[in-house]
Structure 1
Amino acid sequence: MWRAFLIVVIVAVAGSLAWLALWLNSSSGGDTEKNQAPAVLQTAATPPATAQPLPRDGVAPATYAVGDCFKDFDPQGLASTVVACDTGHSAQLVATLRYPDSAAYPGADALKAKALEVCQAAKLGPAAKQFQLNYQRSYPSTTSWQSGDRRVDCYVTADGGNVINASVLP
C-alpha cells in the first residue's frame, strides 16, 4: 500500500514540475511584442559628462549627462546651467535609464516606479555624506514620449541652494 502511495506522489510531483516548466516557458517567450531591446541604465559618469567650457547656460534636459552638476536647478525647467562640480551647485544627475525608441509608453505609474528604481540603483561616493541631499526623479509624460523622450533621470538635490561643491558620484 505504501509503495502505491509513493508512486502516486512521485507521478504528481513530476507532473507538477512539467506543468510549471511549460507555464514558465510560455509566459516568458510567447509575447513577441514584449520581446524588444531592454532599457539601458547608466549610473556612472563617463568623463567629461558635458563638454567644456563650463559654465554652460541654456542646456536642454535631453542633453544632460550622468555626472553633470547644475546651478539653481529647477527639475521642471526647460533648460539649466551646467557648472563644474567643484563649484557651488544645487543638483547633480546621478543615474539615467533610456528606454528603446521602439518601446510603447508604459504609463505614468510604471515610469514613476521605474524612476524610483533608477534612484535606488545610483551609487553615491563619499562626498555625498557631506551634504543634506534629496532625490529628485524625472520621467517622460505621454506628450514628451510621443516626441521621442525615453529618459528616466535621477538627480540628487540640495534644498539650501548652491551649497554642493563636489561631485557626489564615486
Structure 2
Amino acid sequence: MNHQDIPPKPASPPRTGSLPKIQNRAAGPAPAPESVTWSQPRQDPAPEKRVNRRPAFWKAFLVVVILAVAGSLVWLAVWLNSAPGNDAAKGDAAGVLQTAVTPPATPQPLPREGVAPAAYAIGDCFKDFDPQALTTTVVPCDTGHSAQLVATFRYADSTGYPGVEPLKAKALEACQAAKLGPAAKQFQLNYQRSFPSSTSWESGDRRVDCYVTADAGNVITASVLP
C-alpha cells in the first residue's frame, strides 16, 4: 500500500460557527413571536392635515336660523291676510267673502225698482226692505232707506247644500267680518241675515247676505260703510 496516496489528516476539525444552521423541517415552523415592539412610537397625523369641521357646523346653524325666520314671516303674512276686513274679498276652500264695495254696484240711475236679490251688490241701500221679497227698490244711500247690504259670502258652485244651520252660521260670520263706518253710530241698527233655501240652492243661489237694518223704517240717510 502506498501511504503517499492518502491525504494527510487536517490539523483541526473544520469550523462551523460561521455556517448557517439548517432547520429541521420535520419539527414544524418556528413559533411566532408573542409581541412586537416598534422601534419608533406612532405619530398622529400632522395638525395641518386634520379636517376642521367648525365652519360647516356654523353654516348649517345659519341655514336653520334663516329657514326659521322665513317660516315665521310667511306665517305672519298669512295671519295678517286672514284678518277680517283686510281685503274686499277673501277666498277659502268653501267660497269667497266680500265686505267692501266693488264699483260699480247697482247700475245708475237710482232709484231702481224690481231689483232681484241675485243682483244685490255690497253697498246697495234698499227702501222698504223685506228680505223675503222677490224684488226690492234700490235707492241712493243719502236718501231714506231701511237697509244696506254690508257683507256677503258666496259658496263655490260645486258645494252641496249645507243645510239651514250651517247657512245661518256662515251668514253670522259674514256679519262679524263686516266693517262699518262712523255713520253707523248715528242710527239704531240691527244685523239681519239672509240665506238660500234648498229650492233656490238647486237653482244656483249660493250666496248668504248680511244687512244692517232699521226697525223704524226708512230712517237711514247715509251709507254705513267706510
**TM-score, length of structure 2 as denominator length:** 0.58
Q: How does 1:146-161 map to 2 (within 5 A)?
A: 146-161=202-217
Give 1:80's aligned residue.
136
1:124 correspondence with 2:180: yes
Q: CA deviation at 1:37?
A: 4.7
- Please name the residue that 1:60 is paired with: 116
After TM superposition, the structure 1 = structure 2 runs for residues 1-40 of structure 1, keeping only pairs within 5 Å, are 37-40=93-96
Q: Which runs of 5+ in 2 are unaligned?
A: 1-91
For the residues of structure 2 that align with 1:86 and 1:46, how far apart are their CA atoms?
A: 18
* Greater length-normalized contact order (CA 8 Å, ≥ 6 residues apart): 1
Aligned residues: 135
- Rounded to whole Å, the distance in 2 between the matches of 1:87 and 1:46 is 21
Q: What does the per-residue CA deviation read over 1:97-121, in whole Å, with 9 as the maximum and x for residues that have no partner?
A: 1001111111111001111111111
Picking from 153, 162, 170, the partner of 1:114 is: 170
Match of 2:86 in 1: none
Question: TM-score when scaled to structure 1?
Answer: 0.77
Task: Give me the whole-angstrom Cα distance separating, in 2, the residues matched to 1:147 and 1:49.
Answer: 23
**Pairwise CA distance, 1:47:** 2.6
Distance 1:48 1:83 in 2: 14
Counterpart AA for 1:106 = P
Which of 118, 125, 134 aligns to 2:190? It is 134
User: Is the radius of gyration larger for structure 1 or structure 2?
Assistant: 2
Q: Offset at 1:38?
A: 3.1
1:93 aligns with 2:149: yes
**Structure 1 gap ranges (5+):** 1-35
- Matches of 1:165 and 1:86, distance apart in 2: 5
Say what the alpha-carbon RMSD is for the aligned residues.
Answer: 1.1
Q: Specify which structure has the higher proportion of helix.
A: 1
Give a deviation string over 1:14-65, Cα, whole Å, max 9, x none.
xxxxxxxxxxxxxxxxxxxxxx953100000113321100000000000000
Q: Which amino acid aligns with 2:165?
A: D
